Structure 1
Amino acid sequence: MKKNRTDFDTRFWAVRRKHSGLQLMETFFQITDLATSKKRLNSIMNYAVKRDRWIKEDPSVIFHFRQSMQSFIRAGYLITLKENKWAVNTQTEDSSPILLGLLSEKEYQNPLLVFKKAFREYSVQEFDYFMSGMVYFSLGVYDNLPERNIVSPYIHLTKMLDAAHLILERRGKKCC
Structure 2
Amino acid sequence: MKKKKTDFEAKFWSGTRKHTAINLLETFFQFNDPAATKETLNEMVQSSVQKNTRIAKEPAEIFYLYQSLRSFILVAHHIAKKGKKGKFKNSTEISFPKTTMSLSEKEYRNPLRVFQNAFKVCTLQDFDDFLSATAYFSLGNFSCETEKKIIIPYFQLIKLLEAAPLIVGNCHKKMKG
Which TM-score bucket, shorter chain as reference?
Answer: 0.7 to 0.9
Displacement of 1:146 in angstroms is: 3.5
- Aligned residue in 1 for 2:123: 123
Tell me, in whole angstroms, the C-alpha distance in 2 between the residues paired with 1:130 and 1:141. Answer: 17
Correspondence list, 1:27-176, <5 A: 27-83=27-83, 84-93=86-95, 95-98=96-99, 100-142=100-142, 145-146=145-146, 148-176=148-176
Greater length-normalized contact order (CA 8 Å, ≥ 6 residues apart): 1
Calculate the TM-score normalised by the size of structure 1.
Answer: 0.84
Gaps of 5+ in 1: 1-10
Displacement of 1:137 in angstroms is: 0.8
Compared CA separation, residues 89 and 39, structure 1 to 2 (3 A) = same
2:10 equivalent to 1:12: yes
SS in 1 for 2:89: coil
- Aligned residue in 1 for 2:6: none
Tell me, in whole angstroms, the C-alpha distance in 2 between the residues paired with 1:144 and 1:172. Answer: 41
- Aligned residue in 2 for 1:21: 21
Displacement of 1:34 in angstroms is: 0.9
- Tell me the percent identity: 39
Compared CA separation, residues 40 and 144, structure 1 to 2 (3 A) = closer
Compared CA separation, residues 143 and 36, structure 1 to 2 (3 A) = closer
Tell me, in whole angstroms, the C-alpha distance in 1 between the residues paired with 2:144 and 2:82. Answer: 40
Calculate the TM-score normalised by the size of structure 2.
Answer: 0.84
Tell me, in whole angstroms, the C-alpha distance in 1 between the residues paired with 2:136 and 2:60. Answer: 13
Deviations 1:140-175 (A, max 9, x none): 112652364321111000000000012223333444
RMSD: 1.8
Compared CA separation, residues 36 and 104, structure 1 to 2 (3 A) = same
